[in-house]
Structure 1
Amino acid sequence: MIMLKVENLSVSYGMIQAVKDINFEVNEGEIVSLIGANGAGKTTILRTISGLIRPSKGIISFQGKSIEKETSPKIVSSGLVQVPEGRHVFTGMTVMENLELGAFLYTDKKESETILATIFERFPILAERKHQDASTLSGGEQQMLAMGRALMSRPKLLLLDEPSMGLAPIFIREIFSIIEEINKQGTTVLLIEQNAKMALSIADRGYVLETGKVVLEGTGEELLGSSEIQKAYLGG
């Protein structure tokens, strides 16, 4: 079943067209990766899906309903949640307060406590540091916090924008293994990444973007084996 469908999506910043007639879809239960160099339009696509930017044309359907004119809070409450590039944890607030903010749309305290327990199980370091200011965490720990905060809002589809950016290799491996685990437990994932090798190695399917257009698509395995991808992104 198609969970997210993007049709003929175009996005402009003034005279500059950042995204040009893009089409792609994400099926329920998949990990789908969008890869491409800086400036390819990856973040713009995610921000448009999340309702933070309005498209100049095109349709975005989530679970069969058109959402391109909806507000961000409405989109989040429907089950589509983004972890932004650069993590954006709330400094001056504890780890616990950051996580609680993820559940701001929900009033069922018991359910929130159950989800919090599973997040602490998945990210034990957050449990250890729950009373610490979020700004004192390392980059990898802040990424875990940003993902944990997103999971507090019960996403059906999780949008991840460059989760490995600026992280040490040991944290990158850990983050990608957490993404796979989140997916196995029932959350569909749309992943935007510059680390093409890691992104495609966990993806069911992928799309390659160049200057705002989709230029290649296929399974993660097919794209990893493609000579064009090897040359452009994997140093082959």
Structure 2
Amino acid sequence: MIVLLQVDNLVVNYGVINAVKGVSFKINQGEIVSLIGANGAGKTTILKTISGLLKPQSGKIIYQNKEIQSQKAPKVVAEGISQVPEGRHVFSGLSVMENLQMGSFLERDRNQIKQRFAEVFDRFPILKQRKHQDAATLSGGEQQMLAMGRALMANPKLILLDEPSMGLAPIFINEIFDIIKEINQQGTTVLLIEQNAKKALSIADRGYVLATGSVQMSGTGEELLANREVQKAYLGG
């Protein structure tokens, strides 16, 4: 297996708070890997650090055999990593089309951009129907699809998803997880952070359990779903 991303002994502070304490994990090309844990476990901090939005105190982030922990966010996107942030963060006052265009800001080839629009609209037909609508007027599920479509406009090799099911109606949650599986089957590697641990582990090849800023447990999605401690802490078992 080809290791796409490796995080080695990552330490990240928020002011005086030690949010991430020596976390290590890896993602192989083509996998869905899930990070689960309670609020405050350091999951979002890890994603933001991989994305170049935060700088680590120490440790390495190795992507395609190259250290990227000191790179700024636009460079990380150019390398092939896109993030779908927690809470979606669509741009209100801009149309669906304009929001999607934001995702392809590094692409200069008009034909490539056209092709990516076609792919996004193929995957999310509702966005095509709403393409001239203000993004702020979409439902929560539609906004999540827009945020995912915007990330895919950058044609990433690795997509980072931060709480994609947060605040969505159950009908949309199933749809979003089906879309994540589809994106993965079509060749994009996925790192998924998700409060709904049962859903996340059910689609994950492998998972890591985080608590208070460090990895407590790891295994395949199936192993973690069957684990008594995981069931008790995260699955209501």
* TM-score computed with the length of structure 2 as normaliser: 0.99
Taking the aligned partners of 1:167 and 1:184, their CA distance within structure 2 comes to 23
Taking the aligned partners of 1:206 and 1:231, their CA distance within structure 2 comes to 16
How far residue 144 of structure 1 moved from its aligned partner, in angstroms, is 0.1
Question: Runs of 5+ in structure 2 lacking a partner?
Answer: none
Helix, strand or coil: the match of 1:126?
helix
Corresponding residue number in structure 2 for 1:2: 3
Aligned-residue identity in percent: 69
Helix, strand or coil: the match of 1:10?
strand
CA-to-partner distance for each residue in 1:11-52, whole Å, 9 max, x for gaps?
Answer: 111221000000000000000000001000000000000010
Corresponding residue number in structure 2 for 1:160: 161
Taking the aligned partners of 1:116 and 1:14, their CA distance within structure 2 comes to 40
The yes-or-no answer on 1:89 pairing with 2:90 is yes
1:195-206 → structure 2 map (5 Å cutoff): 195-206=196-207
Corresponding residue number in structure 2 for 1:127: 128
The yes-or-no answer on 1:213 pairing with 2:218 is no
Corresponding residue number in structure 1 for 2:230: 229
Corresponding residue number in structure 2 for 1:67: 68
Structure 2 counterpart of 1:123, one-letter code: F
Moved over 2 A (4+): none
Structure 2 counterpart of 1:104, one-letter code: F
Corresponding residue number in structure 1 for 2:16: 15
Structure 2 counterpart of 1:61, one-letter code: I
The yes-or-no answer on 1:147 pairing with 2:148 is yes
How far residue 114 of structure 1 moved from its aligned partner, in angstroms, is 1.1
Taking the aligned partners of 1:147 and 1:15, their CA distance within structure 2 comes to 33
Question: Runs of 5+ in structure 1 lacking a partner?
Answer: none
Quote the RMSD (CA, aligned, Å): 0.5
Matched pairs, number: 236
How far residue 227 of structure 1 moved from its aligned partner, in angstroms, is 0.5
Corresponding residue number in structure 1 for 2:172: 171
Structure 2 counterpart of 1:75, one-letter code: V
- My pick for the range that moved more, 153-162 or 7-16, is 7-16
Taking the aligned partners of 1:101 and 1:58, their CA distance within structure 2 comes to 31
How far residue 112 of structure 1 moved from its aligned partner, in angstroms, is 1.2
Corresponding residue number in structure 2 for 1:46: 47
